[in-house]
Amino acid sequence: MRVGVLGGGQLGRMLALAGAPLGISTIHLDPAQDACAGQVAPVLVGRYDDPALVAELSRQVDVVTVELEQVPLGAFDHVREGVPARPPAAAVEVTQDRLLEKRLFRELGIPAPRFHAVDGPDDVKAAVEALGLPLLLKTRDGGYDGKGQLLVRDPAALAGAWDELGGRLLIAEEVVSFEREVSVVAVRGLDGETRAYPLVENLHAGGILRVTRAPAETDATLAADAERYAARILDRLGHVGVLAVELFDAGGQLLANEIAPRVHNSGHWTIEGAETSQFENHLRAICGLPLGSTALVRPSAMVNLIGDVPPAADVLAIPGARLHLYGKAPRPGRKLGHVTVTAPDEGTLLRRLASVRALVRIADGAA
């Protein structure tokens, strides 16, 4: 099978690497001349919605998929007839818009922070009346890794809020006080079967994921809730492939924050820590193959390498540590790779994780 991937970043690269042993090859489309998937698979360079390029990509493949959610939806229109897009455009569309996501949560009975649509400066006041202060204003589109957000604490800040976020359509959300952030990565096969990986706990700093621990320390009820929510979303969207749901754990209740219609940074640990990696399961799903087990093999943790990379020898000297470099040029704030560490038990994992974290500068006081 040949898979066309819209996007040639690290997620695309790891999809390519996972496909090789299965006899599945990938071809990518990416605007960047030096997209890092290009070191392991062919890349067509150009705009995601360039009609000729998308047609060219889909001419060479059996199925088209995405490795990022901010793909112009027009790209899907140029996929050749008879070549399926998995996930479908409609599933990607919902995840590009925070308001559509929140409405989906409500429709599916999935608890989420209270919200209010803000379509213009006047709506900011209405949102405050509905939700109170403080509140979080987020752009409906284009926001990721904490960008496009404004915390409004007092009425004086309201007047400039709309302009500050660039006059874009917004969503206002109540500010939830949560204990921690968790996520569930799940997959839906072509036949509609869904499977979820164990719930994981995520630590962010500066709006970027830094550390994931798998499994999250939690009771069975929360984990089962997360799995049920993910399955509902996958089914409702008619999704095929991997999807991630980020949630807040607030007082023993999960509140859904957002959805990513693709393999996810909080699922990287599955390469070493689960029976089947998220990358392999995504490919299995979109190629119509049986899904693999999502069971955890060993307690695992993942540490992102952001901005710079410690010496490989230092990482590899830590028992159970595996290094994944993405072949990207260093730049502040850029995800350059990750380290996964596994261990036979939780205590050993925590010690090994501390050794990895000692090698990695984690900004914003999160170390």
Which positions lie near ligand AMP, rule CB under 6 A?
113, 136, 143, 146, 173, 175-176, 181, 204, 207, 246, 257-258
> How do 43-45 and 25-30 pair as beta strands?
parallel
Nearer to ligand AMP, 143 or 299 (CB): 143
CB 192 to ligand AMP: min, Å: 28
CB 146 to ligand AMP: min, Å: 4
Nearer to ligand AMP, 64 or 245 (CB): 245
Phi then psi for 40, rounded to 5 degrees? Answer: -125, -5
CB 110 to ligand AMP: min, Å: 14
Rounded CA-CA distance 281/66 in Å is 14
In angstroms, the Cα distances linking 157 to 138, 162, 303 are 15, 10, 36
Strand ranges inside the chain, DSSP E: 2-6, 25-30, 43-45, 63-66, 115-118, 135-139, 149-152, 170-174, 180-188, 194-196, 200-205, 208-214, 241-250, 253-260, 300-306, 321-325, 335-342
Rounded CA-CA distance 268/277 in Å is 8
CB 210 to ligand AMP: min, Å: 11
CB 88 to ligand AMP: min, Å: 24
Nearer to ligand AMP, 53 or 172 (CB): 172
Nearer to ligand AMP, 151 or 354 (CB): 151
Nearer to ligand AMP, 176 or 350 (CB): 176
Class of residue 166 by CB neighbours under 10 A (exposed 0-12, middle 13-18, buried 19+): exposed
Nearer to ligand AMP, 150 or 359 (CB): 150
Class of residue 178 by CB neighbours under 10 A (exposed 0-12, middle 13-18, buried 19+): middle
CB 35 to ligand AMP: min, Å: 24
Contact 326, 336 (CB under 8 A): yes
